[in-house]
Chains A and B, each alone.
Chain A
Amino acid sequence: MRAVCLIQRIVLLCVLAFSLTAPAPARGAEPPTVAAASDLKFAIEEVAARFERETGQRMRLVFGSSGNFFSQIRQGAPFHLFMSADEDFVFRLADQGLTQDRGRLYAYGRIGLMVPRGSLLKADGELRDLAQALRDGRLKKFAIANPEHAPYGARAKEALQHAGVWADIEPRLVLGENISQAAQFATSGATQGGIIALSLAKVPQVSALGEFALIPESWHRKLAQRMVLLRGAPPAARAFYDYLATPAAQDIMRRHGFAMPGA
């Protein structure tokens, strides 16, 4: 009898514990959540701060690789606005009926070679010294974002292929989970350099760590960055989506190294 009683009590306790945690999803009116590609980290934080000053509306920002967000959204992640670094991900979500429409192009990104201070590598955008360093064995490790799911990694791969060094450099690659992490690797001194986003190279904390040189735009497919409102996005998310088209927001984006569509 006592055993039954005890089990009942334990079950009751568990139920109680669960009911305590159940209201957790309803933690008041949370601000809309923006899932933004890592290259946007500093630019979008600035845009969101300005948006908040002007409208009083806060946005919740989550940064990561576009490919990861794509998978998470397919698994039902409660994001409201998805700012991808690659429009393919947006189109694929739209085809699956998970978005409100096919979204809008908001920026073009650029990539370049980042070389940390004291590296044996020269920061040259045409990657000539990189090819030379591969031949003479100066290059031990090189960082890019994972080309499998990070658009900036995919473009880095294309640029390295264009320069004809992909086969030689592949065994020396250190892959970042997203472009921020690749930038972290490229500047930490653990690698002789890496290919990172211009928008990150312009950040003072990053530019202080080394030299950066732009890779010619024609060496890789365009980094057409597209954003889209997801199903069930609240009006505040749409307001932010619209705000990104205003001159004030575009100025910030341009200052962070993005080219504006139609400009």
Chain B
Amino acid sequence: MDWQAFSLSIELAAVTLLVLLPPGVLAARWLARTRFSGKAWIEAFVVLPLVLPPTVLGYYLLVSLGAGSPFGAWMLDSFDIRMTFNFAGLLIASLVFNIPFIVQPVQRAFEAIPDNLAEAAAVCGLSGWQTFWRVELPLAWPGILSAMVLTFVHTLGEFGVVLMMGGSIPGETKTVAIAIYDRVQSFDLAGADRMALLLLALSLGAVAASFFASARLAARR
């Protein structure tokens, strides 16, 4: 069992969630509440990382951020900051490919809240932000919870982007998905089995737990 790879994956998933959740929820609410002509394009861009092959996404990130790119070279020369093949690079990739996993479920959750609820809150004298905090957010909570779980679990399992951007360096960018691939190529199927099973159990457990929690939240309402 490659615990180093496992803890790296968990760290990546946790930091991704921490950074992506606040802007993701705000963006989702904005998309749920506004109508304008170019909205379909914005929504398409949000979904893009979901439908694009991860290697394509990873490739674009690599050639735009790598040291061979103008931007990557400038960051490296001016600030000595490497944008790829390290944890920061993985995090950038992870933030991009998780945008749809946060925004989509949360946007659906906000859309499900009837408009007249906000109007009622306004009549009661609540400001826009008070309504957001005290009315909309609690109602959207099951959607936010499932978005969080999806993002976390999806990051644990992500492979293609990590392979392109990370370079599979142990302790730095070798996540659990890469470690499993590596075990198979080393003809260590028993090792691959153990890690795959743990990942499977963890993913299933997290998703099931979020469904139970959502159901209980719905029942309490």
Question: What are 29 residue pairs bridging A and B, where the CB atoms are less than 8 Å apart in the complex?
Answer: A2-B129, A3-B128, A6-B129, A10-B22, A10-B23, A14-B23, A18-B19, A20-B15, A21-B87, A24-B88, A41-B185, A41-B186, A60-B171, A62-B169, A62-B170, A63-B182, A75-B66, A75-B67, A75-B68, A76-B72, A76-B84, A78-B86, A78-B167, A79-B167, A178-B185, A181-B185, A183-B187, A184-B184, A205-B187
Distance in Å: Cβ of B122 to nearest Cβ of chain A: 15
Residues on A with beta carbons closer than 8 Å to the beta carbon of B76: 76
By beta carbon, the residue of chain B nearest A14 is: B19
Nearest first, the 6 A-B pairs at minimum CB distance are: A76-B67, A75-B66, A24-B87, A180-B185, A205-B187, A10-B22
> Contact: A75 with B87, CB < 8 Å?
no
By beta carbon, the residue of chain A nearest B63 is: A75
Q: Is A13 on the interface with B (CB-CB < 8 A)?
A: yes
**B positions within 8 Å CB-CB of A:** 15, 18-19, 22-23, 26, 62-63, 66-69, 72, 76, 82, 84-88, 91, 127-130, 167-172, 174, 182, 184-188
Complex-state Cα separation, A6 to B93, whole angstroms: 27
> Which of A25-33, A131-139, A252-260 touches B?
A25-33
> Contact: B187 with A184, CB < 8 Å?
yes
Residues on A with beta carbons closer than 8 Å to the beta carbon of B19: 14, 17-18
Complex-state Cα separation, A17 to B69, whole angstroms: 26
Within 8 A of B (CB), among A48-62: 60-62
Number of A-B contacts (CB under 8 A): 96
Q: Is A74 on the interface with B (CB-CB < 8 A)?
A: yes
Distance in Å: Cβ of B150 to nearest Cβ of chain A: 20
Distance in Å: Cβ of A93 to nearest Cβ of chain B: 12
> Contact: B171 with A30, CB < 8 Å?
yes
> Contact: A75 with B62, CB < 8 Å?
yes
> Contact: A75 with B72, CB < 8 Å?
yes
> Contact: A203 with B85, CB < 8 Å?
no
> Contact: A17 with B167, CB < 8 Å?
no
Residue in B72, B84, B167 whose CB lies within 8 Å of A62: B167
> Contact: A78 with B23, CB < 8 Å?
no
Within 8 A of B (CB), among A220-262: none
Distance in Å: Cβ of A204 to nearest Cβ of chain B: 9
Complex-state Cα separation, A25 to B170, whole angstroms: 13
By beta carbon, the residue of chain A nearest B73 is: A76
> Contact: A60 with B170, CB < 8 Å?
yes
> Contact: A30 with B172, CB < 8 Å?
yes
Q: Is A77 on the interface with B (CB-CB < 8 A)?
A: yes
Residues on A with beta carbons closer than 8 Å to the beta carbon of B169: 33, 60, 62, 78
> Contact: B22 with A14, CB < 8 Å?
yes
> Contact: B82 with A27, CB < 8 Å?
no
By beta carbon, the residue of chain A nearest B81 is: A25
Given A60-B170, A60-B171, A21:B185 Cβ within 8 A: no
Q: Is A206 on the interface with B (CB-CB < 8 A)?
A: yes
> Contact: A63 with B185, CB < 8 Å?
yes
Residue in A13, A24, A38 whose CB lies within 8 Å of B22: A13
Distance in Å: Cβ of A224 to nearest Cβ of chain B: 24
> Contact: B23 with A72, CB < 8 Å?
no
Q: Is A167 on the interface with B (CB-CB < 8 A)?
A: no
Distance in Å: Cβ of B92 to nearest Cβ of chain A: 10
By beta carbon, the residue of chain A nearest B72 is: A76
